[in-house]
Structure 1
Amino acid sequence: MIGQRLEIRQGQGLVITPQLQQAIKLLQLSNLELDAFVEAELERNPLLLRDEGETDVEERRDADAPVEAADDRDTSERDLTEGSARDAEGAMDARDDDLYGDAAPGERSGDRAADEAGQPGLSEWSSAGKGGGQPAGEGSDDRPDRREQTLWEHLLDQAAVAGFSPADHAVAQALIDMTDEGGYLRGDLNEVADRLGCGMDKVEAVLAVCHGFEPTGVMARSAPECLQLQLVERNRFDPAMACLLDNLELLARRDMAALKRACGVDDEDLREMITELKALTPRPGAAFGGEPAQTVVPDVFVRPDPAGGWRVELNGDTLPRLLVDKRYHGLVSGGARGEEEKTFVADCAAQANWLVKSLDQRAKTILKVSSEIVRQQDAFLAFGVEFLRPLNLKTVADAIGMHESTVSRVTSNKYVATPRGCFELKFFFTASIAATDGGAAHSAEAIRHRIKSMIDNEVRDGDVLSDDRIVDILKEAGVDIARRTVAKYREALRIPSSVERRRMLKSA
């Protein structure tokens, strides 16, 4: 019998609230993305303030406060809840005894300037994000814009004085827009002709004029054409050189015998032609400024601890400093009349408190994961990349009592500054390669470094190592590795095969 009835059941389920989803999103943001998110929240939420010092905050709020509130200023107390940065400073002082030794708390959080003075190069890390390298007394706002002229601006300036007609100038602008940063013309000329409604002969005529622009070789459609334009300007383009440009793949393989047959020259002439080619510029646009490179600001600093081990600290410049003004919240909530206004104020307060707690938890999680990674890879920090250990997310997650997905989010787009350089946290997670004697496994990154070192020493030793020979050497050192794995690592390092390296060594 089919019917309807009401039932009450009790059960457990995992519900991801919108705030939890956003907290997870905060965990994987880089410091630049986090700063943009915080700026948006500061504009949206009137109860959030950036920590600029209590004096500045009081002056700001007192200026906005009504006269009645100013009369009771001496009897009211300002209640500020500090954001993640101050809590993170307390978290940074919490050290692992097995990681930092038995140093006293006062010694661990001692004068940072003294530590930096004793460690060359560490003081530069502290200036990251603070405009380090700028002379005292010179503000960035007082300096003029020194941005280099881009390649496209340089070409447009030349096109403006090239004597083009209005129609030809439009074609030149379209061609310049199709030029990449290296100076090569990327695109189809037929597409330009169809889009502008002109003949193909006009486009080619304009391109021929543009080939006379500086730098020489710009707006070429291929590497041989770029080199040909430069040789023509030097009056060194002859039939033998034309054959050499047509057979650049033979030159890349160092097949000198085939090149001599193709060009019809002897050894001495071929050497002179190759020397002339080496004096040319294969990327004429590389000398011009492009988009400014974004400097990597580390999220974590790793420094040698005077008591032994390593000291792990968060970079305070990348931690947003936020305050929640509860006194201002009381003033606003007391003046709210309608239900909609009260709801808005309550939502702003809840969002502000949640953001402060989430930033605090984010800082603590990054510090916890980074400390465990440093503990696992202390041999790399002390002795170099050859001592990098195999490490995966599960090992770190089990050690600190977190889920693998949380560790993965923490290590995404986060950088750590160490005495060995600045690395992304994911750099320390490498695959393992088994040992021949059943001992400890080897890190794939360490094996790649060892392969590169052996090949770099070929010129000194005069012996080119094949992939099979590299496998034998590694197996003698206790590394169980296949030849195809060596070939894969060699190709990833952009190292040519042993045949090509032997030709290069012979030609040299």
Structure 2
Amino acid sequence: MAMMPRMELRQGQSLVMTPQLLQAIKLLQLSHLELQSFVEGELERNPLLERGDEAAEPAIANGAGESAHAADAETYARAESLNTQEGIEGRLGTGLDNVFQNEQPKAARLETQGTDSLPIIGGAYGGSGGSFEEGPDSFENGLTSELSLHEHLGAQLDLAVTAPADRLIGSHIIDGVDDSGYLTESLADIAERLGVDLKRVEQVLAIVQGFDPSGVAARDVSECLAIQLRDRNRFDPAMQALVANLPLLARRDFAALKRICGVDDEDIADMVAEIRRLDPKPGRAFGGSATETVVPDVFIRTAPDGSWLVDLNPDTLPRVLVNQTYHARVSRAARSDTEKAFIAECLQTANWLTRSLEQRARTILKVASEIVRQQDGFFAHGVEHLRPLNLKTVADAISMHESTVSRVTSNKYLACSRGVFEMKYFFSAAIAATGYGEAHSAEAVRHRIKQMIDEEPPRDVLSDDAIVSRLKESGIDIARRTVAKYRESLRIPSSMERRREKAAMALAGR
């Protein structure tokens, strides 16, 4: 067969992922903190972008011209509720048709019997937006300076050690202590880095381990507990044997512990009670790394007529505008082709960002509204009425792709009268029902297992087989291995371990 070059004309379809499309998809899965950081970076890079609450000159988001600012500002002021198409699109313009289906979010009002209303959190749309402005009620004025563990240990080191070399060694040891109070760096590495003898590092470590809080700078849990017991003058040979066999204590194998420690039932109960009074993480009482507070992206509350109201949290939505006045000014001043290209690129990026933020807000609202509709029983009656739900069910209901729903529900939280929940919490596998009943949610079954174990009497501890039997009596068809898996996911020990623990507690209470 002869080989020769030739030209052919073929027609096909393919999806081209432009940088703007990739960024729009990425924005969906960002948490509100990550989104704030991303927007801050764009505000620094793009001179045409400005915060909505800092606009000193006419600015619009749809790029229609300077004369459109008055109407845009009026729309901006009206957009206190994010449940209408006008409220959202009037602020940031139209959506990206090439990313998601550009459907208007219907009013998020779902007819049902509601529970107690959740108080409205946050101000109207267009409030602070998460910014920390100067003022009498500013964020900085509400902060208090906490003494960190390293600062606390460093102050004690200055008083306890006078030799410069030992003080340097002690500083390196303190630097290796984590927020829980444990020394995470080996003494050999510290000695090698400082060029000193290992024995001298051990001597300084003994000094640091005598600092407050008791148990600090320990290298493992056993050493941490041993330090605290020595400070209490309770580290006798029997207690030393108990601390050396913590895995047996974790398994609640009290028979083996009594044999190793050489004590009776009453003594082992007292020793275990003494261990429980110790602090396995002595450093947690001091200010460590900043704690991230979970801020809900969506609020669910009940309306006077009993329907559900789904509102976006305005504090998690960045307010960004395009300054068209400044764009017109710099465009007239641009002379070279490079300057004109830079200004055009900035305008295109700014318009894209405002549209993407708008589309992200609308998509979150649409997905959250469908979750509330699907899980109406949970919001009205609690976790026992959580229904089986998967991504495909929600995606089909709102005409989106499963991957889009997955991105929207990642790192997003929903607040209702029952608490704050991650959106992915409402997606649960189905557990078959006995007979022809309706399937049960895996999360609801897990909750019921926990309730049964919490209510079991000390003299009648439920085995996994007994739990299976009781669940089947209530219409839940479940296997024993599934019960064991759910129990382990809840960090509940086996029936034998629970029986040992409750027996030890009964001895300690005598």
- TM (normalized to structure 1)? 0.84
Residue range with higher mean Cα deviation, 331-340 or 357-366: 331-340
Q: 1:437 to 1:153 in 2, by over 3 A?
A: same
Counterpart of 2:251 in structure 1 is 253
How far apart are residue 328 of structure 1 and its match?
3.2
Counterpart of 2:99 in structure 1 is none
CA contact (8 A) 1:81 1:326 kept: no
1:499 to 478, 488, 496: 496
| Separation in 1, partners of 2:187, 2:490 | 36
Counterpart of 1:309 in structure 2 is 307
Residue-by-residue CA offset, 1:349-379 (whole Å, 9 max, x unaligned): 2222222211111111111111111100010
| Separation in 1, partners of 2:302, 2:106 | 14
Question: More helix by proportion, 1 or 2?
Answer: 1
Residue-by-residue CA offset, 1:225-249 (whole Å, 9 max, x unaligned): 2222222222232222222323333
Counterpart of 2:40 in structure 1 is 39
Q: 1:21 to 1:81 in 2, by over 3 A?
A: farther
Residue range with higher mean Cα deviation, 140-149 or 218-227: 140-149
Alignment of 1:321-340 (within 5 A): 321-340=319-338
Residue-by-residue CA offset, 1:396-432 (whole Å, 9 max, x unaligned): 1111111111111111111111111111111111111
CA contact (8 A) 1:301 1:418 kept: yes
Q: 1:277 to 1:131 in 2, by over 3 A?
A: farther
Counterpart of 2:94 in structure 1 is none
Counterpart of 2:395 in structure 1 is 397
- Is 1:488 aligned to residue 506 of structure 2? no
SS in 2 for 1:422: strand
Residue range with higher mean Cα deviation, 93-102 or 392-401: 93-102
Residue range with higher mean Cα deviation, 306-315 or 422-431: 306-315
1:158 to 156, 178, 181: 156
Q: 1:294 to 1:9 in 2, by over 3 A?
A: same
How far apart are residue 9 of structure 1 and its match?
5.1
Counterpart of 1:106 in structure 2 is none
Counterpart of 2:51 in structure 1 is 50
Question: Structure 2: where are the runs of 5+ without partners?
Answer: 61-65, 86-104, 506-510
SS in 2 for 1:242: helix
How far apart are residue 131 of structure 1 and its match?
11
CA contact (8 A) 2:377 2:385 kept: yes
CA contact (8 A) 1:50 1:321 kept: yes
Q: 1:21 to 1:248 in 2, by over 3 A?
A: closer
| Separation in 2, partners of 1:85, 1:474 | 54
Counterpart amino acid of 2:348?
A
How far apart are residue 150 of structure 1 and its match?
1.4
Counterpart of 1:70 in structure 2 is none
Counterpart amino acid of 2:422?
E
Counterpart of 2:508 in structure 1 is none
Residue-by-residue CA offset, 1:200-231 (whole Å, 9 max, x unaligned): 21121111111211112211223232222222
CA contact (8 A) 1:300 1:312 kept: yes
| Separation in 2, partners of 1:144, 1:471 | 52
- Is 1:263 aligned to residue 273 of structure 2? no
CA contact (8 A) 1:436 1:478 kept: yes
Counterpart of 2:30 in structure 1 is 29
SS in 2 for 1:205: helix
| Separation in 2, partners of 1:142, 1:262 | 56
1:476 to 454, 473, 477: 473
How far apart are residue 86 of structure 1 and its match?
7.3
Q: 1:169 to 1:447 in 2, by over 3 A?
A: same
CA contact (8 A) 1:31 1:299 kept: yes
Identity of counterpart residues, as a percentage? Answer: 57
Counterpart amino acid of 2:419?
G
| Separation in 2, partners of 1:85, 1:245 | 65
How far apart are residue 89 of structure 1 and its match?
5.4
Alignment of 1:36-435 (within 5 A): 36-52=37-53, 56-58=56-58, 77=67, 79=69, 92-93=83-84, 99-101=109-111, 121-124=118-121, 138-140=136-138, 143=141, 146-435=144-433
Residue range with higher mean Cα deviation, 371-380 or 355-364: 355-364
CA contact (8 A) 2:129 2:317 kept: no
Residue-by-residue CA offset, 1:144-193 (whole Å, 9 max, x unaligned): 85221111221122112222422222222222222222222223222222
Counterpart of 1:18 in structure 2 is 19
Q: 1:206 to 1:386 in 2, by over 3 A?
A: same
SS in 1 for 2:477: coil
Counterpart amino acid of 1:173?
S
Residue-by-residue CA offset, 1:255-293 (whole Å, 9 max, x unaligned): 333333322333343333333333332222121111121
